[in-house]
Amino acid sequence: MKKVFLLIGAIVGFSVWGSAEEMGTEATVAESAAASIEVVTSALGSGVDRETRTVQGEATSFDPSVEVHYLTRVKSETVPTTINHVYSVDGSEVASVPLAVKGSPWTTWSRKTVWPGEWKVELKDESGAVIETKNFSVSKDMAPEPGGITVTPAQPQ
């Protein structure tokens, strides 16, 4: 009878050990799938056209009176998943925006109110791996003059 219990215990122990091996493999597959996000297109701008899903006012330098929009179109082998747009200014992280990716390809965007400084926005996958970085600047010099009127001197002809 003891031999039967030992045999059953050995079989159960082996199958638990085998399951742990399988779980490790599944975790590795999930980790590599999270890192398999491909950027199809991306852009920074002052707005997004919701109908065409394109960025408007594309630029790398902005004035503080606009919100900066970061549009990304990605492909992912794992759907659904989440990507993050992480905004930093002068080396300090100021915002992280989680965005759901519900299909592939998938277009999404975030927007950030900005102030003068050297900015970057990083596209990160669920594990925190950086997929793409976009740098941009915001300058006080670009702000409109008080009253919203800009005077441009006439050029002689």
Banded pLDDT at 22 (limits 50, 70, 90) = very low
Q: For the segment 75-101, what is each residue's pLDDT rounded down to a tens digit?
A: 999 999 999 999 999 999 999 999 999
Q: Is the pLDDT of residue 47 over 60?
A: yes
Domain assignments of the chain as residue spans, ordered by start: 1-30, 35-144
| pLDDT of 35 | 53
Banded pLDDT at 155 (limits 50, 70, 90) = very low
| d(C-alpha 125, C-alpha 141), whole Å | 35
| pLDDT of 114 | 97
* Helix, strand or coil, per DSSP, at residue 30: helix
Domain 35-144 falls in which CATH fold? Answer: Coagulation Factor XIII; Chain A, domain 1 (2.70.50)
Q: Is the pLDDT of residue 70 over 70?
A: yes
Distance in angstroms between the alpha carbons of the first and the last residue of the chain: 110
| d(C-alpha 80, C-alpha 108), whole Å | 13
Two tokens, residue 59: 């630029």
**Closest by Cα among 98, 88, 101, 90 to 124:** 98
Q: What integer best gives the mean pLDDT of the chain? A: 79
Note if the bond before 105 is cis, omega within 30 degrees: yes
**Closest by Cα among 96, 75, 73 to 33:** 75
In 29-104, the DSSP E strands lie at: 37-45, 47-49, 54-56, 61-62, 67-76, 81-89, 92-101
* Helix, strand or coil, per DSSP, at residue 103: coil
Q: Tell me which amino acid residue 106 is.
A: W
Taking every pair of C-alpha atoms in the chain, what is the biggest distance, in angstroms?
110
